[in-house]
Amino acid sequence: MIVQETRLDTARIRAARQVIDPIFLDTPLYRCEALEPVLGCAVSVKLETANPIRSFKARGTEVVASGLAANGSRAVVCASAGNLGQALAWSGRGRGLEVTVVASRHATVAKLERIRALGAELELVDGDHELARERAAAIARDQGIRLVEDSLDLETCEGAATIGLELVDALPSFDAVLIALGGGAMATGVGHVVKSHASDVEVICVQPAGAPAMTRSWREHRVVSTDSADTIADGVAGRHPIPEVLDDLLLVADDAVLVQEASIVTGMRMLLDHAGLIVEPSAALGIAAILEDRERFADRHVLTIICGSNVDMDAYHRWIGPAPQ
Amino acid sequence: MIVQETRLDTARIRAARQVIDPIFLDTPLYRCEALEPVLGCAVSVKLETANPIRSFKARGTEVVASGLAANGSRAVVCASAGNLGQALAWSGRGRGLEVTVVASRHATVAKLERIRALGAELELVDGDHELARERAAAIARDQGIRLVEDSLDLETCEGAATIGLELVDALPSFDAVLIALGGGAMATGVGHVVKSHASDVEVICVQPAGAPAMTRSWREHRVVSTDSADTIADGVAGRHPIPEVLDDLLLVADDAVLVQEASIVTGMRMLLDHAGLIVEPSAALGIAAILEDRERFADRHVLTIICGSNVDMDAYHRWIGPAPQ
């Protein structure tokens, strides 16, 4: 079966589950019926925000950090738009690791503050996430410490893939899963498990039209970089897809769609008004995809992963508007 | 041991757990470190909002409805400020029960809409929750069907008490648990389990100063009713405490405190700004109690149950204000 050719392996994903702090596992998964009349389909959410770092990223950093601790490592560095950095800071702190996070000076302030509060060294670069990746790589080389590369490093994909294990165990099952697409760890990880265990479930990746590099790459079957990324969905605003991750994505994704910024904002507002959930823009991509193609999802049961809730509240209020819907 | 004298029994609570849909069990429990600098103590939350009805109440109605279904009952009625009604509607629908909910015309609109959407018959009364209780009792008598009385009926306490089981299993343990106090099901249920399994943990009930009937009753060791209830915390705005519930509360509560409306609003805003959580006023009572007595909780580890998130978003925005903190 074609899924077997990805870099991922279900046995390793099950092993990853064993080293992840249970506080990040078995997250809520439930129908949001109040959303359904406005979306025209059955909607379930997998909620990855009700944990100490408010995103799914610790599933991956727990795997990374437990491996490093077992090897006697003392330090680790990553580039991050903010969520990976928080997660690595949390996972590293609990295992006595010195954590350095490199981020763009323009990253979400709430995320940067939490990275510092969790005791990590935070280095800011004057540029976007791609420059932060370069700087983190340089630090790793200079200091001879482990560089964690989101989506490239298998642990990050395997950690995210544990969400998939929880999805395929769920009843009643759903027809399609909508996954925010950035670097690709969540899409390839969850996609691998879903296609391996429930191949009839459609795996649909969703990316902002303003940061379309990985989606374009998936469509053209080759790495397509972009010169810029312009989206409020900071967590998925990469420009340079990683070839190995694209190869995996080509094997597990049934589709990759691009959505407008306005749909992301409407999705955020709907999750607030009808589900009582504060989410960051990346977590509203799935709802945005339904909004932009209601016919495709009509009367189907769609699951979307609410992947994070780290948002600057002033920006959130600005996006959503002062008045309720 | 004195705890053994309550109406509750741990074996029955464990049995209750077996009939509750797992979607309502094993809810998130985690530290909210971002709240801690502003509150001056370690804070963990038990999150009861990430489920199909956005409150803890289904733990109790699952026990009620499964018993009714086993007995071949066809219908059930309750009075509700909104959350019990939603919960009973959800639990009854899944078991083919006709559910009638009586509520005040002034109840939270979002709650009333959800009760209807879940297929229950909704009857509104021109008065407060106490009048709704009378009307529900009359319907039960007239139709010869089961009346569910929140806090009086043991299933509602036993359902809520399953939260307690999940708390006492948690590590690291906490020093105090702050529980919203209304009719008393959650306080007596959780309190019973906590005092039975971890008697050194302080059980503190929190009620709005504007709806103090049960707290005054606890303090005076006798039922004290009030003429009115004036609070935004609609879920706990009762006026006539139930004697049996008071008796239980006297055995399990170490303290019962009253908080101001302004503290409830500040608590809601803090949960939004620092934890990314939308909550209804009753769910912010614990944070309000910390705010009003920081010295008492300084450097202790406090757990509070986030018991519901059903709120009218326009009222929420009005309370919290348009601008972020």
Q: In chain A, where are the structural domains located? A: 2-55+157-320, 58-148
Rg (CA), chain B: 18
Angle at A130 between CA A128 and CA A134, to 5 degrees: 120
List CB contacts of A40: < 8 A, sequence separation 6 or more.
Answer: A290, A294, A297, A298, A299
- Closest residue in A to B276 (Cα) is A278
- Record: contact B118-A30, CB cut-off 8 A: no
Task: Please list the residues that pair with A303 across neighbouring strands.
Answer: A44, A177
Q: What is the pLDDT of residue A322?
A: 62
CB B197 within 8 A of CB B248: no
> Percentage of chain A with pLDDT > 90?
94
Which among B32, B309, B325 has CB closest to A276?
Answer: B309
Q: Give me the half-sphere count of Cα atoms (radius 13 Å) on the Cβ side of residue A272.
A: 26
Average pLDDT over residues A85-97: 98
- pLDDT classification of A1: cutoffs 50, 70, 90: very low
Q: Does A2 score more than 50 pLDDT?
A: no
Whether residues B311 and A276 touch (CB distance < 8 A) is answered with yes
Q: Residue B4 has what pLDDT?
A: 54
- Record: contact B276-A51, CB cut-off 8 A: no
Mean pLDDT of B282-305: 98
* Chain A residues near residue B310 by CB distance under 8 angstroms: 276
Q: Which residue is closest to B53 within chain A, CA to CA?
A: A32
pLDDT tens for B168-206 read 988 678 999 999 999 999 999 999 999 999 999 999 999
Q: Is B299 exposed, middle or buried (0-12, 13-18, 19+ CB in 10 A)?
A: exposed
Is B171 at the interface with chain A, CB within 8 A? no
pLDDT digits 0-9 by tens, A254-283: 999 999 999 999 999 999 999 999 999 999
Find how far residue B208's CA is from the centre of its chain: 13
Q: What is the pLDDT of residue A5?
A: 87
Flag if A322 and B317 touch (Cβ within 8 Å): yes
Strand, coil or helix: what is A17?
helix
Mean pLDDT, residues B31-41 taken together: 97
Helix axes B243-252, B185-197, angle to 10 degrees: 30
Q: Do A54 and B276 touch (CB under 8 A)?
A: yes
**What is the dotted CATH code of the domain comprising A2-55+157-320?**
3.40.50.1100
Cβ atoms of residues B161 and B187 within 8 Å:
no
Q: Do A273 and B33 touch (CB under 8 A)?
A: no
Please report, as a single letter, which amino acid is at residue A298. A
For A306, the enclosing helix (H) or strand (E) is strand A301-306
Q: In sequence order, what are the beta bridge partners of A301?
A: A42
For B297-304, what is the mean pLDDT?
Answer: 97
pLDDT tens-digit map of B83-116: 999 999 999 999 999 999 999 999 999 999 999 9
Instruction: Please count the residue pairs, one from chain A and one from chain B, whose beta carbons lie less than 8 angstroms apart.
Output: 75
| Strand-strand pairing, B121-125 and B98-104 | parallel
User: What is the distance in angstroms between the Cα of A306 and the nearest Cα belonging to chain B?
Assistant: 12
Q: What is the pLDDT of residue B321?
A: 83
Q: Is A324 a residue whose pLDDT tops 80?
A: no
Distance, CA of B212 to CA of B294 (rounded, Å): 21
Identify the band that residue B325 occupies on the pLDDT scale cut at 50, 70 and 90.
Answer: very low
d(CA B140, CA B3): 33
The radius of gyration of chain A's CA atoms, rounded to the nearest angstrom, is 18
At the top level of CATH, the class of B2-55+154-320 is alpha beta
Give yes or no for residue B10 having a pLDDT over 50: yes
State residue A4's pLDDT score.
Answer: 52
- Whether residue A212 is preceded by a cis peptide bond, meaning omega within 30 degrees of 0, is no
**Closest residue, chain B, to A49 (C-alpha):** B276
Tokens 């560089």 -> residue: A147
CATH number of the domain located at residue range(s) B58-148 in this protein? 3.40.50.1100
Q: Which residues of A touch B316 (CB under 8 A)?
A: 324
pLDDT tens, residue by residue, A196-208: 999 999 999 999 9
Average pLDDT of chain A to the nearest whole number: 95
Phi, psi of A247 (to 5 degrees): -55, -45
Give me chain B's average pLDDT, please: 95
Burial of A264 (0-12, 13-18, 19+ CB in 10 A): buried
Give B277's strand partners.
A277
User: What distance in Å separates the CA atoms of residue A260 and residue A292, rounded to the nearest whole number?
Assistant: 8
Query: Cβ of B169 under 8 Å from any chain A Cβ?
Result: no
Local structure of A249: helix, strand or coil: helix
Give A210's DSSP letter.
Answer: T
By DSSP bridging, strand A301-306 and strand A176-180 are: parallel
Kindly report the three-state secondary structure assignment for every residue of chain B.
CHHHHCCCCHHHHHHHHHHCCHHHCCCCEEECHHHHHHHCCEEEEEECCCCCCCECCHHHHHHHHHHHHHCCCCEEEEECCCHHHHHHHHHHHCCCCEEEEEEECCCCHHHHHHHHHCCCEEEEECCCHHHHHHHHHHHHHHHCCEEECCCCCHHHHHHHHHHHHHHHCCCCCCCEEEEECCCCHHHHHHHHHHHHHCCCCEEEEEEECCCCHHHHHHHHCCCCCCCCCCCCCHHHCCCCCCHHHHHHHHHHCCEEEEECHHHHHHHHHHHHHHHCECCCHHHHHHHHHHHHCHHHHCCCEEEEEECECCCCHHHHHHHHCCCCC
A128-170 per-position pLDDT tens digit: 999 999 999 999 999 999 999 999 999 999 999 999 999 998 8
- Structure tokens given for A161: 């893939």
The yes-or-no verdict on residue A325 having pLDDT over 50 is no
According to DSSP, residue A199 is labeled T
